[in-house]
Amino acid sequence: GQNIDQPTEMTATEGAIVQINCTYQTSGFNGLFWYQQHAGEAPTFLSYNVLDGLEEKGRFSSFLSRSKGYSYLLLKELQMKDSASYLCAALDSNYQLIWGAGTKLIIKP
Amino acid sequence: IAGITQAPTSQILAAGRRMTLRCTQDMRHNAMYWYRQDLGLGLRLIHYSNTAGTTGKGEVPDGYSVSRANTDDFPLTLASAVPSQTSVYFCASSDSGGAGDEQFFGPGTRLTVL
């Protein structure tokens, strides 16, 4: 079956760094997405990785290891506005996104 | 630029009633999607359309139908609503539905079936 695993909830301190992990098992693989979703709002795109390695975009970076079925999202210099759920999603062989349940990130002052 | 709009924002519906959730995008995207989001579960794909005139079934299509008469609109119909269809419904679109295509989401419809 197809499966995405990520932690349910994480807590971090303002100004710190946090890493949110995601493991995936899909039938075929065409890339890994990260989305941010604030409470009561729609998901918004953060990153896409299809090749192994680290992609950096400002305070956010995303890493992919295809051989390990593993990705992480790294958030630096955390701000209170980063409090949100972070959704990991893998694109399968049919180009359909398989979504994790999301990691709720709580930022404390 | 509106992006993707959904209507209604929220709805309370009696079981057995028919309901259509509306979705319109103005980005001229070819691919459109309907998802439901339930607490503790990931987004689950209900139906999708890769281009106007074609539709496909996702992971949880039972009890739902869609149509794609033109590029902009992708309505989702519940023929006879049941309480298990209580959820938040998101419509999304992407340029072509291919690898690397970012999906843009509408604001969602919160549906309660009693």
Please write the tens of the pLDDT for every residue from A82-99: 999 999 999 999 889 999
User: What is the rounded average pLDDT for all residues in chain A?
Assistant: 96
Residues 37-96 of A with CB under 8 A from B: 41-45, 48, 50, 87, 89, 91, 95-96
Q: How many other C-beta atoms are found inside a 10 Å radius of the C-beta of residue A18?
A: 19
CB B37 within 8 A of CB B87: yes
Is there a contact between B37 and B94 (Cβ–Cβ < 8 Å)?
A: no
Kindly give the parts of chain B with pLDDT less than 70.
1
- pLDDT recorded at residue B107: 97
Q: Which whole number is the average pLDDT over A9-28? A: 97
Sign of the torsion formed by the C-alpha atoms of A26, A28, A29 and A33: negative
* Residue B75 backbone phi and psi in degrees, to 5: -75, 145
Please, which residues have CB within 8 angstroms of residue A63's CB and are 6 or more apart in sequence?
Answer: A49, A53, A54, A55, A71, A72, A74
> What proportion of chain A, given as a percentage, has pLDDT over 70?
100
Cβ contact A31–B100 (<8 Å): yes
* pLDDT for res A18: 98
pLDDT in tens, B80-107: 999 999 999 999 999 987 888 999 999 9
The predicted pLDDT at position B1 comes to 59
Separation CA B70–CA B95 (nearest Å):
15
